[in-house]
Amino acid sequence: ARVVVLVSGGGSNLAALLEATREPGYGAQVVAVGADRDSAGGLALGTEAGAATFVERLGDHADRAAWDAALTARVAEHDPDLVVSAGFLKLCGPRFLERFEGRYINTHNTLLPAFPGMNGPRDALEYGVKITGATLFFVDAGVDTGAILAQVAVPVQEDDDVETLTERIKVAERAQLVEEVGRLAREGWRLEGRTVRVGA
Ligand code: GRF
């Protein structure tokens, strides 16, 4: 399967995916890495791994709709079977969502539907939950509301602060992403409403 990965940050999820794709039989290749900003460390990882890279900045466009159209076209050029948002800090627009419906997944660092949004681990810690985790889901028009593909639980420890909890979640999150992208690639999938059918 051809995978395009979208990043904004350090790209540790991308790094894990790139590592996994070196394994023969994994089933997925990262054909391109896209970012919404130049500083995204993930771009360098993509280049190193021989993937195409591109940057589409919101600020270079007249409005969000124009950016949406440009990003959609950029990603479509690589003809992906799957688009993975791995720490991509922008909400994709309606055009993008329509074009890649059922093929666009995002990883979030809590157990959804609890604690959506940018500060999930902090919110979970402040709330006082004892178990949180990571959720992989098919993106829809809402914020972290799409059909859930997989979840992994991560215990909160008594002495956790935001950093230690965030890091523990990221370890589980990366493993989940690698496992699920490979499974989708090897077995195929269908999205029926909120039901994800893998191997169907
Ligand atoms: C992930 O934990 C994701 O859930 C959150 O940002 C992180 C991305 O990290 N939204 P990285 O860029 O893959 O290292």
For residues 161 and 153, give the distance between their C-alpha atoms in angstroms, rounded to a whole number: 17
pLDDT digits (tens, 9 = 90+) for 127-174: 999 999 999 999 999 999 999 999 999 999 999 999 999 999 999 999
Domain count, the chain: 1
Instruction: Say whether 106 counts as a known binding-site residue.
Output: yes
Residue 15 CA to ligand 1 centre (angstroms): 11
Measured from the Cα of 9, ligand 1's closest atom is 12
Report the alpha-carbon angle 64-13-24, nearest 5: 120
SS3 category, 68:
helix
Question: pLDDT averaged over the chain?
Answer: 96
What percent of the chain has pLDDT above 90?
Answer: 96
For residues 146 and 132, give the distance between their C-alpha atoms in angstroms, rounded to a whole number: 18
Residue 194 belongs to domain spanning: 2-198
CA 29: distance to chain centroid?
A: 15
Instruction: Say whether 182 counts as a known binding-site residue.
Output: no
The pLDDT score that the predictor gives to residue 131 is 98
φ and ψ of 53, to 5 deg? -135, 155
**Residue of the CA atom closest to atom 5 of ligand 1:** 87
Residue 119 CA to ligand 1 centre (angstroms): 11
**Residue of the CA atom closest to atom 12 of ligand 1:** 11
**If you average pLDDT over residues 77-95, what whole number do you get?**
96
**If you average pLDDT over residues 28-38, what whole number do you get?**
96
Instruction: Say whether 64 counts as a known binding-site residue.
Output: yes
pLDDT band of residue 194 (cuts 50, 70, 90) is: very high
The pLDDT score that the predictor gives to residue 134 is 98
pLDDT higher than threshold 80 for residue 40: no
The pLDDT score that the predictor gives to residue 39 is 79
**What is the CB < 6 Å shell around ligand 1?**
7, 9-14, 86-87, 107-109, 170, 173
Instruction: Say whether 99 counts as a known binding-site residue.
Output: no
Residue 70 CA to ligand 1 centre (angstroms): 24
**Which residues carry out catalysis?**
108
Which of 7, 8, 12, 136 maximizes ligand 1 atoms within 8 Å of its Cβ, making it the mutation to test the pocket? Answer: 12
Domain CATH number, residue 141: 3.40.50.170
For residues 187 and 139, give the distance between their C-alpha atoms in angstroms, rounded to a whole number: 20
The pLDDT score that the predictor gives to residue 128 is 98
The pLDDT score that the predictor gives to residue 10 is 84
The pLDDT score that the predictor gives to residue 74 is 98
Measured from the Cα of 107, ligand 1's closest atom is 4
CB 165 within 8 A of CB 125: yes
pLDDT digits (tens, 9 = 90+) for 101-118: 999 999 999 999 999 999
Instruction: Show Cβ contacts of residue 66 under 8 Å, excluding neighbours closer than 6 positions.
Output: none
Residue 153 CA to ligand 1 centre (angstroms): 16
Burial 78-105 (b: 16+ CB within 10 A, else e): bebbbbbbbbbebbbbebbbebbebbbb
pLDDT band of residue 98 (cuts 50, 70, 90) is: very high
CB 81 within 8 A of CB 58: no
Instruction: Show Cβ contacts of residue 46 under 8 Å, excluding neighbours closer than 6 positions.
Output: 5, 14, 18, 30, 32, 33, 52, 53
pTM: 0.96
